A and B are shown apart, each in its own frame.
Chain A
Amino acid sequence: MSETAPSAPSASPGRRARSERRNRWLLLTPAMVILSLAASGPLLVVLIYSVLTPGDYGGVEWRFSLDSWFAVVVERDFFTEELTLADAHLMVFWRSLKLSLCTALLCLIVGFPTAYFIATRPARRRDMWMLLIMIPFWTNLLIRTFAIMELIRNQGTVNTLLVASGLIDEPIQMLYTEFSVLVGMTYVYLPLMILPIYASMERLNFDLVEAGYDLYANRFQVLRRVIFPLVKPGVVAGSILVFVPCLGAYVTPRVLGGGKQLMLGNLIELQFGQLRNWPLGAALSLTLLAVVMVALIFYVRAIGQEGERDV
């Protein structure tokens, strides 16, 4: 590093270290500026809005109020002024968490073998397989979601085939259920699971797999004791990449859940849209952010501890 620094050859080591430190900050500056303007700034706006009073026709009135934050978890009865838990909100939180976890798990179950398959192909064919994985990912999200809809609706391809084959007498209601949202999100986010796992898998030294077999480990044991621990960073990254956007997913639950299977993203959108309660929307957004962060901290900590035991 220091060789490339434009410091005079005669500079003392201390001076060189200082100039290197300065260069480092200089290089970091563009990223810092963008991050603070594009992430911290809006976040601050959202935070401020969440403690204001909702305006009658959307927007906010500049009066401090913590009502929205209470409204995230409790409801005030319109007539009796009695406080009860906001079941509707908690239901949505619970559904979001549940569906996101299930989606991440499903993506892992489907994505891991896929990544393994691709990583064990001859080098020149791997790119072709990865391209096939990536093409749907480049397609517009709405189009892909409607494609799933077409497949699983009552007169859709799957039901038509099932009825025609005589396996069922009448179409199964799959669309507008949690199932359809789960299927949709798994399909949409699968590449985000496959990519990081494949990246880890491709670096895996397959001599280690042979060494496992050689030392009396059967296929399952090799997978559990050799392959999985070594590609775990990819699995962790993939799970986070799928879980986090799932929690805030909007389009997929909207289209495939048909407004009945609300997730957090839809609830937030409702506040800013139809319900015109911007402060509550802001409070819900920040709650979502908190949920994501808490979940990630737990996850990373659990993985980290396991890692220490393993390694």
Chain B
Amino acid sequence: MIEISGLTKTFGEGQSAFTALDDVSVTIRSNEFFTLLGPSGCGKTTLLRTIAGFLDPTRGSLTLDGEDLLSKPPYQRPVNTVFQSYALFPHMTVAENIAFGLQMLNRRKAEITATVAEMLELVQMTALADRKTSQISGGQQQRVALARALAPRPKVLLLDEPLSALDFKLRKEMQLELKRLQHETGITFVFVTHDQEEALTMSDRIAVMNAGTIRQIGGPRDIYDHPAERFVADFIGDTNFLQAKILSTDGAQARVRLVSGGEIAAQTAADAPVLDDGASVTLAVRPEHAELCAPEGALLSGRLRDVVYFGTDTHYHVALDQNETFTLRRQNQPGQTQVWQTGDHVGLNIAPGIPQILKD
């Protein structure tokens, strides 16, 4: 278990000072696939490098299973990193790269040989063990980097955007592979990415970061279905924002009135402050959580501006009567006929309880 508390990292001083991490506190459980997700410059890599020991934080504490990590240099932390550039040693073979960490830990020769063979097997690189790292493809280098970091059996594996250099198909493959490796080895993975889809497919839990702070932590479903604030809703997936007023609240549920006059039940954010009746709020609704219907008696109505075909699904852009826009997504079915045409006056329905009230 990694416990991070009040971690702050400031680069530079005075006027030009830049706060990369601003009072970050988070607990990463053992054996979980934990993802730090955020746009570039949000501090996710800084946090990862601090755990690895390449950066000293300005303030805060960091422990692993109750043991202070900050007082130890990187080579004494039971933590290994898979670098974004892979950072394989070019003067060593695949097998020598994997053996390096074990050699530095002074493991016995026989044990090193056995572990290297096992790791090569695990990442399916046995046939290329004696190749130089410059003689293998990007995807293969990726596997070697993984095997090298896993070989010493660290308590925590840190992965710094390891898939960003791979092409689309290979990336999909490696996502599943990583998930499988994490499951098989039972090692805690801390994964850094700016790709929300990657985060959603692989993680047990996700921490969404922005401007040096963690904005929301939760499971992929949690984060996607119940974004707590505008940044999270916007960064992960597509979202429609609707203005509304609170009518009444009842625990996690609230009744709101939309600008169009329609009323609907909505979810409040888990740790949001109590909302007063009559308060103005923003609702987030995912494009696939709404349905097109006839305008009469619908929750919202507007003019269908664009119909965009995407293969697996179709996007409908609706200009709402109240000057807002709304995007809908519907999965395409075989033999489906196009019911709505551009320019049609259409209605929109949303199931009660689906809209999420944002904190800001």
Contact = CB atoms under 8 A, between A and B. Distances in A.
A94 B52 CA distance: 52
Interface centre among A213, A215, A229 (most CB of B within 10 A): A215
B101 interface: yes
A218 B149 CA distance: 16
Interface string B50-67: 001110000000000000
A215 B76 CA distance: 9
Nearest to B93: A311
Contacts of B85: 205, 207
A213 B74 contact: yes
Nearest to A210: B54
B83 interface: yes
A230 B91 contact: yes
Interface in A184-238: 205, 207-208, 210-218, 221, 225-226, 229-230
Given A216-B101, A216-B152, A211 B87 contact: yes
Interface residues of B, number: 26
A167 to B, nearest CB: 38
Contacts of A56: none
Contacts of A221: 104
Contacts of A229: 91
Interface string A153-180: 0000000000000000000000000000
B231 interface: no
A215 B73 contact: no
Interface string B33-77: 000000000000000000011100000000000000000011110
B345 interface: no
Interface string B112-153: 000000000000000000001000000000000000110010
B87 A205 contact: yes
Contacts of A216: 75-76, 101, 104-105, 152
Nearest to A217: B104
Contacts of A212: 89, 100
Interface in B73-100: 73-76, 79-81, 83, 85, 87-92, 100
A217 B75 contact: yes
A310 B91 CA distance: 7
Given A205-B85, A221-B104, A213 B53 contact: yes
B138 to A, nearest CB: 16
B132 A214 contact: no
Contact of B100 (A210, A215, A311): A215
A72 B210 CA distance: 78
Interface residues of A, number: 19
Nearest to A307: B91
Interface in A107-144: none
A37 B75 CA distance: 58
B157 to A, nearest CB: 11
A311 B90 CA distance: 8
Nearest to A228: B91
Contact of A213 (B73, B148, B152): B73
Nearest to B99: A215
Contact of A226 (B54, B89, B148): B89
Contacts of B87: 205, 207-208, 210-211
B338 to A, nearest CB: 51
A228 to B, nearest CB: 10
A189 to B, nearest CB: 28
A272 B319 CA distance: 99
Nearest to A225: B100
Contacts of B54: 210, 213
Nearest to A221: B104
Contacts of B73: 213, 218
A205, A211, A212, A311 — which one has the most chain B CB atoms within 10 A of its CB? A211
A217 B148 CA distance: 14
Nearest to A211: B87
Interface in B248-268: none
A189 B105 CA distance: 40
A218 B77 CA distance: 12
Contacts of B53: 213-214
A310 B54 CA distance: 27
A211 B104 CA distance: 12
B75 A214 contact: yes
A216 B80 CA distance: 9
B148 A215 contact: yes
Contacts of A205: 85, 87
Contact of B89 (A211, A213, A218): A211
B153 to A, nearest CB: 12
Contact of A230 (B83, B90, B105, B148): B90
A230 to B, nearest CB: 6
Contacts of B152: 215-216
A226 B91 CA distance: 8
A52 B132 CA distance: 56
B91 A214 contact: no
Contacts of B81: 210-211, 214
B298 to A, nearest CB: 56
Contacts of A217: 75, 100, 104
Contacts of A211: 81, 83, 87-89
A212 B75 CA distance: 8
Contact of A311 (B76, B104, B132): B132
15 contacts: A210-B52, A211-B81, A212-B100, A213-B53, A213-B54, A214-B75, A214-B80, A215-B104, A215-B149, A215-B152, A216-B152, A218-B75, A310-B92, A311-B91, A311-B132
Interface of A: 205, 207-208, 210-218, 221, 225-226, 229-230, 310-311
Given A210-B52, A214-B81, A217-B75, 16 more contacts: A205-B85, A207-B83, A207-B85, A208-B89, A208-B90, A210-B87, A211-B88, A213-B54, A213-B73, A214-B52, A216-B75, A216-B76, A216-B101, A216-B152, A221-B104, A225-B100
